[in-house]
Amino acid sequence: MSVLPTNNWLKTADRREDLLKKIYRYFPDRGEREVNHTLTSFGMFKTMNNVSDWLARAEEQGYWKTVKLEERRLIKEWDGPDTTVFILPNDHTNSVIQKEYNGKAGLAFHDKLFLFLSKDCKKKDIQAIITHEYNHVCRLARDPKDEKDYTLIDTIILEGMAENAVRVRLGEESVSPWASAYSDKQLTYFYKEIILPNDQLTRAERRFPQVMFGTGFYPKMVGYAVGYYIVKNFMKKEGATIKSLLTTKSEEIINSLML
């Protein structure tokens, strides 16, 4: 992986748009407006206010060094692909990111990943978010199915794999709150009553993010929570490792469980 010198980019950027111009080069097949919207919606900072303060704290705490060390471990552990890593300030006005996720958020593609961090992220939180996002990179890179063709089932398994990777590497205390928000009985019910009736939803459909994130009448983060539960149970039943999961089809994981 290549951890980009985004600290230097931020030092020379007078406006947010100056930084975005550098990022756009890594998205040759996407429009600038789409890229900006995607990054912002997943937790990237919205204004340059407080960026200099963030940068001073991030450099002082060694964010770039921590990520570089962790990436080497992950590549070796999972025999993972080389990828590009962006470390950037998070949206400090987002109370969910700040309070529920300890100031960390991220976004992954098959060839790159973004880490959106607060100025006070602890080392273990940084390890957790890069573990989660790099697991996505590995899965997407090895899956013959194109990400744009992912169904709801493919996506809950993708998320379940990534957070179980956090559990295995860093312990239960490092997993996201949604992983332990519901009982096994509730999760089984959610799978049968919410996930199964919508299992072939694609990302282009309006109901897809509603189910994944649990908006509207759906339980909070229901897609993520069910995915974590399914993958965790599959690992127990089949003795699967995180590395072996990366090439296991979603259908195989689902079909092996009697929920």
DSSP 218: S
User: 101, 136, 100: which is closest to 116 by C-alpha?
Assistant: 101
CA separation for the pair 10, 47 (Å, rounded): 12
Bridge pairing between strands 104-108 and 84-89: unpaired
Model confidence at 1, in pLDDT bands (50, 70, 90)?
Answer: low
CA separation for the pair 36, 16 (Å, rounded): 10
Model confidence at 98, in pLDDT bands (50, 70, 90)?
Answer: confident
Q: Give the per-residue pLDDT at 218.
A: 95
What number of other Cβ atoms are within 10 A of residue 192's Cβ?
Answer: 12
CA separation for the pair 131, 124 (Å, rounded): 10
CA separation for the pair 135, 210 (Å, rounded): 23
- pLDDT tens column, 171-222: 999 999 999 999 999 999 999 999 999 999 998 899 999 999 999 899 999 9
Instruction: State the pTM of this model.
Output: 0.94
- Asked if 74 and 126 touch (Cβ cutoff 8 Å), the reply is no
Query: Exposed (0-12), middle (13-18) or buried (19+): which is 259, by Cβ within 10 Å?
Result: middle
Q: Give the per-residue pLDDT at 76.
A: 96
**DSSP result, 26-80:** T-TTS-HHHHHHHHHHTTB--SSTTHHHHHHHHHHTTHHHHHHHHHHHHHHHHTP
- Asked if 142 and 246 touch (Cβ cutoff 8 Å), the reply is yes
Q: Can you read off the two tokens belonging to residue 50?
A: 């407080």
Instruction: For the chain, give every domain's residue range.
Output: 2-142, 147-255
Q: Give the per-residue pLDDT at 102.
A: 83
Model confidence at 148, in pLDDT bands (50, 70, 90)?
Answer: confident
Q: Can you read off the two tokens belonging to residue 57?
A: 């704290």
Q: Give the per-residue pLDDT at 28.
A: 94
Distant-in-sequence contacts of 146-149, Cβ < 8 A, 24+ apart: 147/109, 147/110, 148/203, 149/202
DSSP 139: H
CA separation for the pair 115, 124 (Å, rounded): 14
